[in-house]
Amino acid sequence: MTETTIQAEPLTAAAFAPFGQVIDPEPATGKRLGFGTTIRFDDLIAFDFGDGRAKLDVYRVQPATGAIPVPFLERHPLSTQLFAALTPAPFLVVVAPPLADADGPDPARIRAFQGRPGQAISYHRGTWHGAILALERETDFIAIDRGGPEPNRDVADIGGVSVLPLR
Protein backbone atom coordinates (compact mmCIF):
# COMPACT_ATOMS: atom_id res chain seq x y z
CA MET A 1 0.00 0.00 0.00
CA THR A 2 1.28 3.48 -0.85
CA GLU A 3 2.09 5.92 1.93
CA THR A 4 0.39 9.31 1.52
CA THR A 5 0.89 12.44 3.62
CA ILE A 6 -1.74 15.16 3.52
CA GLN A 7 -0.85 18.73 4.55
CA ALA A 8 -3.59 20.40 6.59
CA GLU A 9 -5.08 23.64 5.32
CA PRO A 10 -6.88 26.39 7.25
CA LEU A 11 -10.53 25.65 8.03
CA THR A 12 -12.70 28.10 6.10
CA ALA A 13 -16.39 27.95 5.22
CA ALA A 14 -15.67 28.04 1.47
CA ALA A 15 -13.01 25.31 1.48
CA PHE A 16 -15.06 23.01 3.76
CA ALA A 17 -18.42 23.55 1.99
CA PRO A 18 -18.36 20.28 -0.03
CA PHE A 19 -18.08 18.33 3.25
CA GLY A 20 -20.21 20.31 5.69
CA GLN A 21 -20.57 23.59 7.49
CA VAL A 22 -18.14 25.64 9.59
CA ILE A 23 -19.39 27.38 12.70
CA ASP A 24 -17.32 30.54 13.11
CA PRO A 25 -19.53 33.32 14.51
CA GLU A 26 -18.57 36.88 13.64
CA PRO A 27 -19.82 39.57 16.04
CA ALA A 28 -21.09 41.72 13.16
CA THR A 29 -23.56 38.96 12.17
CA GLY A 30 -25.08 38.46 15.63
CA LYS A 31 -28.01 40.09 17.41
CA ARG A 32 -27.47 41.94 20.70
CA LEU A 33 -29.73 40.71 23.50
CA GLY A 34 -30.43 41.31 27.16
CA PHE A 35 -28.42 44.18 28.60
CA GLY A 36 -26.14 44.33 25.58
CA THR A 37 -23.75 41.74 27.01
CA THR A 38 -24.97 38.84 24.85
CA ILE A 39 -24.75 38.28 21.12
CA ARG A 40 -26.91 35.53 19.62
CA PHE A 41 -25.94 33.91 16.31
CA ASP A 42 -29.08 32.42 14.79
CA ASP A 43 -29.55 29.24 12.79
CA LEU A 44 -25.85 28.45 12.20
CA ILE A 45 -26.33 24.78 11.30
CA ALA A 46 -28.99 22.94 9.34
CA PHE A 47 -29.17 19.63 11.22
CA ASP A 48 -30.40 16.60 9.29
CA PHE A 49 -31.40 13.61 11.44
CA GLY A 50 -33.90 12.11 9.01
CA ASP A 51 -36.55 10.42 11.12
CA GLY A 52 -34.15 9.93 14.06
CA ARG A 53 -33.59 12.01 17.16
CA ALA A 54 -30.75 14.33 18.18
CA LYS A 55 -28.22 13.09 20.73
CA LEU A 56 -25.30 14.86 22.40
CA ASP A 57 -22.02 13.11 23.30
CA VAL A 58 -18.70 14.35 24.68
CA TYR A 59 -15.41 13.09 23.24
CA ARG A 60 -12.19 13.56 25.27
CA VAL A 61 -9.35 13.50 22.73
CA GLN A 62 -5.64 13.21 23.50
CA PRO A 63 -3.37 15.52 21.48
CA ALA A 64 -1.58 14.20 18.42
CA THR A 65 1.76 15.41 17.11
CA GLY A 66 3.90 15.08 14.00
CA ALA A 67 2.54 13.14 11.03
CA ILE A 68 -0.75 11.76 12.37
CA PRO A 69 -1.84 8.38 10.94
CA VAL A 70 -5.41 8.17 9.62
CA PRO A 71 -6.07 4.44 9.06
CA PHE A 72 -9.82 4.71 8.34
CA LEU A 73 -12.61 7.08 7.38
CA GLU A 74 -16.23 6.78 8.44
CA ARG A 75 -19.53 8.29 7.39
CA HIS A 76 -22.99 8.66 8.88
CA PRO A 77 -25.49 7.94 6.08
CA LEU A 78 -28.56 8.88 8.12
CA SER A 79 -27.53 12.24 9.59
CA THR A 80 -25.29 15.23 9.91
CA GLN A 81 -22.73 15.25 12.75
CA LEU A 82 -21.46 18.31 14.62
CA PHE A 83 -18.19 18.65 16.58
CA ALA A 84 -17.48 21.71 18.75
CA ALA A 85 -14.47 21.98 21.06
CA LEU A 86 -15.17 22.82 24.69
CA THR A 87 -11.44 23.35 25.23
CA PRO A 88 -9.90 26.35 23.44
CA ALA A 89 -7.36 24.57 21.26
CA PRO A 90 -6.73 23.92 17.56
CA PHE A 91 -7.99 20.67 16.01
CA LEU A 92 -7.84 18.71 12.76
CA VAL A 93 -10.58 17.17 10.64
CA VAL A 94 -9.88 14.81 7.74
CA VAL A 95 -12.47 14.39 4.97
CA ALA A 96 -12.85 12.83 1.53
CA PRO A 97 -15.53 12.92 -1.15
CA PRO A 98 -17.08 9.62 -2.20
CA LEU A 99 -15.68 7.63 -5.10
CA ALA A 100 -17.54 8.44 -8.31
CA ASP A 101 -18.24 4.81 -9.23
CA ALA A 102 -18.14 2.90 -5.92
CA ASP A 103 -19.35 2.94 -2.34
CA GLY A 104 -16.41 4.36 -0.41
CA PRO A 105 -14.19 7.42 0.07
CA ASP A 106 -11.89 8.64 -2.69
CA PRO A 107 -8.39 8.20 -1.19
CA ALA A 108 -6.84 10.36 -3.92
CA ARG A 109 -8.94 13.36 -2.79
CA ILE A 110 -8.50 13.29 1.00
CA ARG A 111 -8.21 16.72 2.59
CA ALA A 112 -7.32 17.87 6.09
CA PHE A 113 -8.50 21.11 7.70
CA GLN A 114 -7.07 22.71 10.81
CA GLY A 115 -9.60 24.54 12.93
CA ARG A 116 -8.71 27.24 15.40
CA PRO A 117 -10.19 27.84 18.85
CA GLY A 118 -13.75 29.12 18.53
CA GLN A 119 -14.55 27.19 15.35
CA ALA A 120 -16.68 24.07 15.04
CA ILE A 121 -17.79 21.88 12.13
CA SER A 122 -20.85 19.93 11.06
CA TYR A 123 -20.38 17.19 8.47
CA HIS A 124 -23.01 16.81 5.78
CA ARG A 125 -24.96 13.56 5.86
CA GLY A 126 -22.80 10.83 4.30
CA THR A 127 -19.49 12.78 4.35
CA TRP A 128 -16.47 10.50 4.74
CA HIS A 129 -14.33 11.75 7.66
CA GLY A 130 -11.68 10.65 10.10
CA ALA A 131 -11.76 10.79 13.88
CA ILE A 132 -11.60 14.31 15.32
CA LEU A 133 -7.96 15.09 16.16
CA ALA A 134 -6.83 17.33 19.03
CA LEU A 135 -3.66 19.39 18.80
CA GLU A 136 -1.55 20.94 21.59
CA ARG A 137 -3.57 19.55 24.54
CA GLU A 138 -6.31 17.18 25.65
CA THR A 139 -9.53 18.57 24.19
CA ASP A 140 -13.16 17.86 24.98
CA PHE A 141 -15.57 18.05 22.06
CA ILE A 142 -19.34 17.99 22.14
CA ALA A 143 -20.82 15.97 19.30
CA ILE A 144 -24.41 16.23 18.15
CA ASP A 145 -25.66 13.53 15.81
CA ARG A 146 -28.46 11.06 15.27
CA GLY A 147 -29.62 8.60 17.87
CA GLY A 148 -31.95 5.70 17.27
CA PRO A 149 -31.91 1.95 16.67
CA GLU A 150 -30.77 2.03 13.02
CA PRO A 151 -27.03 1.68 12.30
CA ASN A 152 -25.61 5.06 11.29
CA ARG A 153 -21.90 4.41 10.73
CA ASP A 154 -20.00 2.96 7.77
CA VAL A 155 -16.21 2.49 8.00
CA ALA A 156 -13.64 2.26 5.21
CA ASP A 157 -9.99 1.26 5.73
CA ILE A 158 -7.69 3.71 3.92
CA GLY A 159 -4.35 2.57 5.46
CA GLY A 160 -1.07 4.41 4.80
CA VAL A 161 -2.41 8.00 5.11
CA SER A 162 -0.91 10.58 7.49
CA VAL A 163 -1.79 14.22 8.11
CA LEU A 164 0.60 17.06 8.93
CA PRO A 165 -0.84 19.92 11.03
CA LEU A 166 -0.14 23.52 10.06
CA ARG A 167 2.80 25.07 11.87
* Domain boundary assignment for the chain: 4-164
At residue 56, does pLDDT exceed 60? yes
Question: Longest C-alpha distance within the chain, in Å?
Answer: 60
CA-CA distances (angstroms) from residue 72 to 20, 78, 83, 105, 157? 19, 19, 18, 10, 4
Q: Look over the chain and give the mean of its residue pLDDT values, rounded to a whole number.
A: 92
**Residue that wins the pLDDT comparison between 22 and 29:** 22
pLDDT for res 106: 93
pLDDT for res 160: 86
pLDDT for res 38: 84
pLDDT for res 39: 85
Q: What is the pLDDT of residues 103-122, one digit of tens each?
A: 899 989 999 999 999 999 99
pLDDT for res 1: 56
pLDDT for res 139: 96
Q: 4-164 has which fold?
A: Jelly Rolls (2.60.120)
Q: What is the share, in percent, of the chain residues with pLDDT greater than 90?
A: 73
pTM exceeds 0.85, yes or no: yes
Structure confidence at residue 19 as a pLDDT band (50, 70, 90):
very high
